[in-house]
Amino acid sequence: MDSILVTGNGPLSGQIPIAGAKNACLTLMPATLLSDEPLTLTNAPRLSDIRTMTLLLQSLGAEVQALNDGQVLALSSHALTSTRAEYDIVRTMRASIRVLGPLLARHGEAQVSLPGGCAIGARPVDLHLRAMEALGAEMDLRDGYVHAKAPAGGLRGGVVRFPLVSVGATENALMAAVLARGTTVLENAAREPEIVDLAQCLRKMGARIEGEGTSRIEIEGVDRLGGATHRVVTDRIELGTYMLAPAICGGEVECLGGRIDLLQAFCEKLDEAGISVEETAAGLKVARKNGRVRAVNVVTEPFPGFPTDLQAQMMALLCTAEGDSVLEEKIFENRFMHAPELMRMGARIDVHGGTARVRGVEALRGAPVMATDLRASVSLILAGLAAEGETVVSRVYHLDRGYEHVVRKLRGVGAKIERIKGE
Ligand code: EPZ
């Protein structure tokens, strides 16, 4: 298994291009199942999760071509051969559940493997199933699979009230509702930019949607959808991650393609911590010129709150802040596994349930550490950038799921980092 060697190397400077969003692309790709006309996605990220979604769609009989070095995805599902999403693919990526709504809406049935366990939490899919039932589908769990069947004549409009905000269940319900007969209302819907991006793409395909980005989305079903070409929105989590690099090491870095509206709550926390964030013509410029970072308290929430997918990276920053910071993880019940690894680097962190108290230390020291999930892996790389000496992060296959060209991007701004090929 590959690992990444990082050596603390002082302030950073230069530019980092931000790719298209993994979490938008993973819901835009299944949208091809809603139409027999081609869907083209530009600004697609080159990640192992995108390759997994490609395999999944191809296993259903869809055509998926990666063009322009993988930044353009040409998708078509005019002749599906199956409506069954196999366990072998689904167990490697939970996002696979997002084929349920589109298959049910256009093909009237679907068999989707249940995703199984996840390192950061139980992550059930009950809200996805409830949403499909609200649109008239019969749902049955058998042999580790969801067996879904639409009523004769197809799904019908209905009211879906989410008891808690779920990004994935909102995306599945939205994709199911665009072909349902009549009107659907999603209440307490997720408001993430990835959902706005999905709605904009579906609208280009001919869907009738109002209210995306708010907690109430209204969809008027149509008989069929056409094709479209859509540019994937910027990856706000990759953006936030690289904004933290100069924050943690010092220096000034411009993140190309960055937008404040994608990360308002996060940018406010950086400002509170003494980090300057400035909009430029090309993106966002982040700088920490002098002095230590100030301690801040963080609570993770659904958008527009502080994103849970930046919690681990923010913890890495706060390890060397002046004072104590308290981080509350409100979305996932087991998302502090990076804390013991950061403590191997000399951090002082007390974790109690969903709360972590970080007592700022003068400096971190390099050490061998292990990645446990996608965002934890990159938080260890950020910590290594600021630590004295060498840090070796193992199990970086987690990283490849959500970050393209990490070594090249960080080297481009002066970081001392290399990938070590495993046996
Ligand atoms: C999406 O996951 C993202 N993944 C996650 O990013 C992100 O952390 C999460 O949203 C929250 O922002 C993708 O978009 C592919 P949820 P999703 O449904 O849709 C509970 C990353 O690092 N819940 O909003 O799976 C659930 O357990 C990944 O890129 C139910 O109880 O998240 C959680 O506590 C990690 N029942 C909460 O809701 C359900 O049916 C929010 O989950 C669904 C969810």
Distances, alpha carbon 90 to alpha carbons 16, 116, 117, in Å: 32, 9, 11
Q: Is 375 in the pocket of ligand 1 (CB under 6 A)?
A: yes
Q: What is the pLDDT of residue 116?
A: 80
- Give 130's pLDDT tier (boundaries 50, 70, 90): very high
Quote the tokens at residue 387.
């630590």
* 380-396: pLDDT as tens digits: 999 999 999 999 999 99
Q: Is 379 in the pocket of ligand 1 (CB under 6 A)?
A: no
Q: Is the model's pLDDT at 117 over the cut of 90?
A: no
Mean of pLDDT over the chain: 97
Mean pLDDT of 221-243: 98
CB-count burial class (<10 Å; 0-12, 13-18, 19+) for 344: middle
CA of residue 274 to ligand 1 center, whole Å: 30
- Answer whether 194's CB lies under 8 Å from 27's CB: yes
Nearest CA to ligand 1 atom 16: 166
- Give 121's pLDDT tier (boundaries 50, 70, 90): confident
* 246-264: pLDDT as tens digits: 999 999 999 999 999 999 9
Nearest CA to ligand 1 atom 44: 166
- Give 422's pLDDT tier (boundaries 50, 70, 90): confident
Q: Is 140 in the pocket of ligand 1 (CB under 6 A)?
A: no
- Distance CA(410)–CA(382), nearest Å, equals 10
Question: Cα dihedral sign for 393, 395, 401, 407?
Answer: positive
CA of residue 20 to ligand 1 center, whole Å: 19
Q: Is the model's pLDDT at 409 over the cut of 80?
A: yes
Mean pLDDT of 110-136: 93
- Answer whether 172's CB lies under 8 Å from 110's CB: no
pTM over 0.85? The answer is: yes
* 284-306: pLDDT as tens digits: 999 997 778 999 999 999 999 99
Nearest CA to ligand 1 atom 30: 124
Q: Is 169 in the pocket of ligand 1 (CB under 6 A)?
A: yes
Nearest in space to 417 (alpha carbons), one of 285, 242, 288, 240? 242
- Distance CA(306)–CA(302), nearest Å, equals 7
Mean pLDDT of 163-192: 98
Q: Is the model's pLDDT at 423 over the cut of 80?
A: no
- Distance CA(106)–CA(78), nearest Å, equals 11
Best mutation site among 166, 266, 310 for ligand 1 pocket (most ligand atoms within 8 Å of CB): 166
First to last CA, the chain: 6
Mean pLDDT of 181-191: 98
Quote the tokens at residue 271.
């400002």
Q: Is 23 in the pocket of ligand 1 (CB under 6 A)?
A: yes
Give residues with Cβ within 8 angstroms of 68, minimum separation 6: none
- Helix, strand, coil: what percent of the chain each, to 5? 35, 30, 35
CA of residue 252 to ligand 1 center, whole Å: 32
How many residues belong to the chain?
A: 423
* 60-84: pLDDT as tens digits: 999 999 999 999 999 999 999 999 9
Q: What is the pLDDT of residue 9?
A: 84
Q: Is the model's pLDDT at 49 over the cut of 90?
A: yes
DSSP-assigned letters across all residues of 27-90: HHGGGGGGBSS-EEEES----HHHHHHHHHHHHTT-EEEEEGGGTEEEEE-SS----EE-HHHH
Q: What is the pLDDT of residue 2?
A: 94
Q: What is the pLDDT of residue 330?
A: 98
Q: Is 401 in the pocket of ligand 1 (CB under 6 A)?
A: no
Tokens 């139409």 found at: 35
